[in-house]
Chain A
Protein backbone atom coordinates (compact mmCIF):
# COMPACT_ATOMS: atom_id res chain seq x y z
CA UNK A 1 0.00 0.00 0.00
CA UNK A 2 1.14 3.52 -0.66
CA UNK A 3 2.08 5.48 2.42
CA UNK A 4 0.74 8.76 3.69
CA UNK A 5 1.35 11.55 1.21
CA UNK A 6 1.50 15.25 1.89
CA UNK A 7 1.50 18.11 -0.55
CA UNK A 8 3.22 20.38 -1.06
CA UNK A 9 6.50 19.28 0.51
CA UNK A 10 7.87 22.80 0.80
CA UNK A 11 6.10 26.13 0.94
CA UNK A 12 7.23 29.73 1.39
CA UNK A 13 4.68 32.36 2.36
CA UNK A 14 4.72 35.87 3.76
CA UNK A 15 3.13 37.15 6.93
CA UNK A 16 -0.60 37.73 6.66
CA UNK A 17 -1.14 35.21 3.89
CA UNK A 18 -3.04 32.00 4.29
CA UNK A 19 -2.00 28.47 3.38
CA UNK A 20 -3.66 25.12 2.76
CA UNK A 21 -1.84 21.85 3.25
CA UNK A 22 -3.09 18.50 2.02
CA UNK A 23 -2.79 14.99 3.37
CA UNK A 24 -3.82 11.71 1.75
CA UNK A 25 -3.96 8.84 4.24
CA UNK A 26 -3.11 5.23 3.64
CA UNK A 27 -5.90 3.54 1.70
CA UNK A 28 -8.56 2.30 4.10
CA UNK A 29 -7.47 4.53 6.97
CA UNK A 30 -10.23 6.76 8.27
CA UNK A 31 -8.38 8.85 10.82
CA UNK A 32 -6.05 11.74 10.03
CA UNK A 33 -4.18 13.68 12.68
CA UNK A 34 -2.09 16.81 12.21
CA UNK A 35 1.01 17.85 14.15
CA UNK A 36 3.26 20.88 14.15
CA UNK A 37 6.98 20.42 14.76
CA UNK A 38 9.26 23.33 15.67
CA UNK A 39 12.71 23.37 17.28
CA UNK A 40 11.38 25.31 20.26
CA UNK A 41 8.06 23.59 21.00
CA UNK A 42 8.77 20.15 19.57
CA UNK A 43 5.92 18.04 18.23
CA UNK A 44 2.50 19.38 19.10
CA UNK A 45 -0.89 17.93 18.30
CA UNK A 46 -3.15 20.15 16.20
CA UNK A 47 -6.30 18.11 15.57
CA UNK A 48 -7.67 14.75 14.54
CA UNK A 49 -10.39 13.95 12.04
CA UNK A 50 -12.27 10.71 11.81
CA UNK A 51 -15.11 10.08 9.38
CA UNK A 52 -15.18 13.76 8.40
CA UNK A 53 -15.65 14.91 12.00
CA UNK A 54 -13.10 16.65 14.19
CA UNK A 55 -12.64 14.30 17.14
CA UNK A 56 -9.88 16.01 19.06
CA UNK A 57 -8.19 19.38 19.10
CA UNK A 58 -4.94 20.72 20.50
CA UNK A 59 -4.22 24.14 21.97
CA UNK A 60 -3.82 26.19 18.85
CA UNK A 61 -5.56 29.45 17.92
CA UNK A 62 -8.57 29.50 15.63
CA UNK A 63 -6.33 30.52 12.71
CA UNK A 64 -5.57 26.80 12.44
CA UNK A 65 -8.42 24.81 10.99
CA UNK A 66 -8.92 21.61 9.10
CA UNK A 67 -11.39 19.38 7.40
CA UNK A 68 -11.72 15.86 6.13
CA UNK A 69 -13.42 14.70 2.98
CA UNK A 70 -15.50 11.60 2.36
CA UNK A 71 -12.46 9.84 0.86
CA UNK A 72 -10.59 10.51 4.14
CA UNK A 73 -8.22 13.01 2.56
CA UNK A 74 -7.66 15.96 4.85
CA UNK A 75 -6.68 19.57 4.49
CA UNK A 76 -5.28 21.94 7.04
CA UNK A 77 -5.59 25.69 6.70
CA UNK A 78 -3.67 28.41 8.48
CA UNK A 79 -4.94 31.95 8.01
CA UNK A 80 -3.14 35.23 8.70
CA UNK A 81 0.26 33.59 8.86
CA UNK A 82 2.74 34.67 11.51
CA UNK A 83 6.51 34.17 11.58
CA UNK A 84 6.05 31.66 14.40
CA UNK A 85 3.99 29.42 12.14
CA UNK A 86 7.17 28.37 10.34
CA UNK A 87 7.38 24.68 11.05
CA UNK A 88 7.24 21.16 9.72
CA UNK A 89 3.60 20.09 9.53
CA UNK A 90 3.09 16.38 9.77
CA UNK A 91 -0.03 14.39 9.20
CA UNK A 92 -0.60 10.84 10.32
CA UNK A 93 -3.25 8.30 9.48
CA UNK A 94 -4.59 5.31 11.32
CA UNK A 95 -7.14 2.63 10.65
CA UNK A 96 -9.52 3.47 13.43
CA UNK A 97 -9.98 6.39 15.72
CA UNK A 98 -6.35 7.16 16.59
CA UNK A 99 -7.22 7.99 20.14
CA UNK A 100 -8.27 4.41 20.73
CA UNK A 101 -5.97 1.85 22.23
CA UNK A 102 -4.58 0.69 18.92
CA UNK A 103 -2.83 4.02 18.77
CA UNK A 104 -0.42 3.29 15.93
CA UNK A 105 -0.20 6.18 13.53
CA UNK A 106 1.59 6.27 10.18
CA UNK A 107 3.21 9.57 9.38
CA UNK A 108 3.71 11.35 6.09
CA UNK A 109 6.99 13.10 5.15
CA UNK A 110 5.66 16.48 6.21
CA UNK A 111 5.25 19.91 4.65
CA UNK A 112 7.97 22.41 5.55
CA UNK A 113 6.34 25.84 5.79
CA UNK A 114 8.49 28.94 5.93
CA UNK A 115 6.85 32.26 6.73
CA UNK A 116 8.86 35.36 5.79
Chain B
Protein backbone atom coordinates (compact mmCIF):
# COMPACT_ATOMS: atom_id res chain seq x y z
CA UNK B 1 0.00 0.00 0.00
CA UNK B 2 1.26 3.45 -0.87
CA UNK B 3 1.17 6.15 1.77
CA UNK B 4 2.77 8.97 -0.15
CA UNK B 5 1.66 10.51 -3.39
CA UNK B 6 4.23 12.51 -5.24
CA UNK B 7 3.77 15.39 -7.53
CA UNK B 8 4.75 15.85 -10.25
CA UNK B 9 5.28 12.32 -11.58
CA UNK B 10 7.89 13.66 -13.98
CA UNK B 11 9.87 16.88 -14.11
CA UNK B 12 12.25 18.12 -16.78
CA UNK B 13 14.45 21.16 -16.18
CA UNK B 14 17.68 22.74 -17.40
CA UNK B 15 20.94 22.59 -15.49
CA UNK B 16 21.19 25.41 -12.98
CA UNK B 17 17.44 25.60 -12.37
CA UNK B 18 15.78 24.59 -9.12
CA UNK B 19 13.65 21.45 -8.88
CA UNK B 20 10.76 21.12 -6.45
CA UNK B 21 9.01 17.84 -5.71
CA UNK B 22 6.03 17.42 -3.44
CA UNK B 23 4.84 14.51 -1.35
CA UNK B 24 1.50 14.10 0.38
CA UNK B 25 0.61 11.36 2.83
CA UNK B 26 -2.47 10.11 4.60
CA UNK B 27 -1.78 9.08 8.19
CA UNK B 28 0.18 10.66 11.01
CA UNK B 29 3.89 10.03 10.80
CA UNK B 30 6.97 9.91 12.99
CA UNK B 31 9.38 10.88 10.28
CA UNK B 32 9.57 11.37 6.53
CA UNK B 33 12.56 10.53 4.38
CA UNK B 34 13.64 11.28 0.84
CA UNK B 35 15.57 8.82 -1.29
CA UNK B 36 17.11 8.97 -4.76
CA UNK B 37 17.29 6.10 -7.22
CA UNK B 38 19.37 6.09 -10.36
CA UNK B 39 17.91 4.06 -13.22
CA UNK B 40 16.65 0.91 -11.50
CA UNK B 41 19.48 0.64 -9.01
CA UNK B 42 19.53 0.85 -5.22
CA UNK B 43 18.13 3.76 -3.29
CA UNK B 44 20.32 6.40 -1.70
CA UNK B 45 19.12 8.08 1.47
CA UNK B 46 19.08 11.86 1.09
CA UNK B 47 17.51 13.36 4.17
CA UNK B 48 15.25 12.54 7.13
CA UNK B 49 12.91 15.02 8.76
CA UNK B 50 11.13 14.25 12.02
CA UNK B 51 7.50 15.10 12.67
CA UNK B 52 8.47 17.90 15.07
CA UNK B 53 10.73 19.57 12.50
CA UNK B 54 9.56 21.99 9.83
CA UNK B 55 12.61 22.41 7.63
CA UNK B 56 15.94 20.75 7.06
CA UNK B 57 18.90 21.47 4.82
CA UNK B 58 21.64 19.28 3.43
CA UNK B 59 23.95 20.81 0.84
CA UNK B 60 21.78 21.79 -2.14
CA UNK B 61 18.75 20.01 -0.66
CA UNK B 62 16.03 21.68 1.33
CA UNK B 63 13.14 19.69 2.78
CA UNK B 64 10.04 21.11 4.40
CA UNK B 65 7.37 19.28 6.34
CA UNK B 66 3.85 20.52 7.08
CA UNK B 67 2.15 17.98 9.32
CA UNK B 68 -1.11 19.96 9.36
CA UNK B 69 -1.35 19.54 5.57
CA UNK B 70 0.30 16.11 5.63
CA UNK B 71 2.77 17.19 2.99
CA UNK B 72 6.47 17.61 2.37
CA UNK B 73 8.55 19.15 -0.36
CA UNK B 74 12.07 18.55 -1.59
CA UNK B 75 13.90 21.42 -3.25
CA UNK B 76 17.11 20.82 -5.18
CA UNK B 77 18.84 24.08 -5.92
CA UNK B 78 21.20 24.74 -8.83
CA UNK B 79 20.48 21.35 -10.35
CA UNK B 80 23.11 19.38 -12.26
CA UNK B 81 22.82 16.70 -14.93
CA UNK B 82 24.00 14.22 -12.28
CA UNK B 83 20.81 14.92 -10.29
CA UNK B 84 18.83 13.08 -12.98
CA UNK B 85 17.13 10.25 -11.08
CA UNK B 86 13.88 9.17 -9.48
CA UNK B 87 13.13 10.70 -6.10
CA UNK B 88 10.95 8.98 -3.51
CA UNK B 89 9.47 10.12 -0.28
CA UNK B 90 8.95 7.50 2.40
CA UNK B 91 7.06 7.81 5.64
CA UNK B 92 7.52 6.03 8.94
CA UNK B 93 4.53 5.65 11.23
CA UNK B 94 4.73 3.77 14.48
CA UNK B 95 1.02 3.00 14.24
CA UNK B 96 1.79 1.15 11.01
CA UNK B 97 4.56 -0.87 12.56
CA UNK B 98 7.27 1.62 11.77
CA UNK B 99 8.06 0.32 8.31
CA UNK B 100 9.06 2.60 5.44
CA UNK B 101 6.13 3.28 3.12
CA UNK B 102 7.15 4.77 -0.20
CA UNK B 103 5.41 7.08 -2.61
CA UNK B 104 5.37 6.42 -6.34
CA UNK B 105 8.24 8.79 -6.96
CA UNK B 106 9.08 11.75 -9.17
CA UNK B 107 11.27 11.22 -12.23
CA UNK B 108 13.61 14.18 -12.54
CA UNK B 109 15.48 14.88 -15.75
CA UNK B 110 18.09 17.63 -15.73
CA UNK B 111 19.27 18.63 -19.20
CA UNK B 112 22.76 20.02 -19.66
Contacts and interface: CB of A to CB of B under 8 A. Distances in A.
B98 A100 contact: yes
A11 interface: no
B70 interface: no
B42 A101 contact: no
A14 interface: no
- A-side interface size class: 20 to 34
Interface string B26-59: 0000110101000011111100101000000000
Contacts, number: 68
B40 A98 contact: no
A48 B43 contact: no
A104 B48 contact: yes
Interface residues of B, number: 27
A53 interface: no
Given A35-B100, A98-B99, A103-B31, 13 more contacts: A33-B100, A42-B102, A43-B90, A48-B99, A56-B97, A56-B99, A90-B42, A99-B98, A100-B98, A101-B31, A106-B45, A107-B43, A110-B42
Interface of B: 1-2, 30-31, 33, 35, 40-45, 48, 50, 88, 90, 92, 94, 97-105
12 contacts: A42-B102, A42-B105, A43-B90, A90-B43, A99-B98, A103-B31, A104-B33, A104-B45, A105-B100, A107-B43, A110-B42, A112-B40
Interface of A: 4, 33, 35, 42-45, 48, 56, 58-59, 88, 90, 92, 97-101, 103-110, 112
Q: Which 10 A-B pairs have the closest CB atoms?
A: A99-B98, A43-B102, A107-B42, A107-B43, A109-B42, A45-B99, A56-B97, A42-B104, A56-B99, A103-B31
